[in-house]
Amino acid sequence: GPILEALPSRNVVPVLRLDGTRLPVSPRQALDRALAVITALRGAGVRVSALEVDHDTATAAVGDYAVWLQAVRDGLPADLALWVTTLPDWRHSPEISILLGSVDAYTLQVHAVLGNREGLMDMGLARQWVADFSALSDTGFFVALPTYQQRAGLDLAGGLRFLEAEAPVPARSADERFLFVSPAGLSEWVAALRRSRPDNLLGLAWFRLPIAEDRANISLGTLNALVEGRPIQAALELLAEPVRVGAMTYDLSWVNHGPHDAAWPAEAALPAGCSTGGGANGFQIDRSAEQLRHSRPGLLRPGDRIGAGWVRCVTGWPKGEEWRIGYGD
């Protein structure tokens, strides 16, 4: 496909993902596995300059991981650098400087590290983590930012029933939440980072690459705007459609007129007399405040729409330009 065809013109860094909190393979086994892939890529004309290892080791085992990484580095060909993915909690390890000194560069992951109840990314904490790591070592680093959403289904006790991340999960829950960072929010965060960029910050890593089949990821046009530092623009509209001709009951839905992806508005005012009803897809009608709300907004691509519930109006939904709720993102 287009991605494979573009690889020979790019500098590629394969990532060796090791699952679990304990290292499942020896340095030699890891090297053999990685070098087989790198040899195949180079044989196809792809430029490979480094190998990145991604392993969620426990903070208490950072020292052991540093020793393991040094053994990997010693076995790499001279023309390959060694990178590693790091987690924010590792900054508490007394051996973190040793680990960062054993690699040529690293990627600091600031998303999907807080647990499902805390959201996908805390902007304030992420800024602090970047500052903390930039002061720990002179080693150059990238910051990994999220371009995707996760669907979390909770049980009646608030426990996690399922988490839909990189693959569809054929399950539903009465209490579902979407963990997502709006492209507009990411754009503002990146702009602030660029204004106070640490000297050893090498760049940004966006996870993950958009493909047409991945509906939980932002579109390629929105990712390009983020990478290039262009403003994120979206036009969201709350539509009210009568359930039948002459009815005072209306189905509500949000639609994104584009051109970029956006998050659903967390709240929207409803016309006076139109607050009796029920929500859908996690939206709720707050009758006392006459608002439509969602505690964890999710992704809405250009041209897409999502049902938000229904309302019954005393005198009917205002027509035309008398009432149109629109939000820019």
Distances (CA, A) of 16 to 59, 244, 304: 20, 56, 35
pLDDT averaged per 10 residues in sequence order, the chain, 329 residues: 57 90 90 94 91 96 96 95 97 97 97 79 96 97 94 72 70 75 95 96 93 87 95 93 90 95 92 91 90 90 94 84 49
45 Cβ neighbours under 8 A, 6+ residues apart:
8
CA distance 35 to 46: 14
pTM: 0.88
**Over the Cα atoms of the chain, what is R_g?**
23
Alpha helices, DSSP H, located in 138-264: 183-195, 220-228
Judge contact between 109 and 83, C-beta under 8 A. Answer: no
Cα torsion 201, 205, 206, 207: sign: negative
CA distance 291 to 264: 14
Degrees to nearest 5, angle at CA 269 with 226 and 183:
5
- Helix (H) / strand (E) element for 141: namely strand 140-146
- What is the Cβ-side half-sphere exposure of residue 169, based on CA atoms within 13 angstroms? 14
Q: How far apart are the first and last CA of the chain?
A: 32
134 Cβ neighbours under 8 A, 6+ residues apart:
141, 198, 199, 200, 201
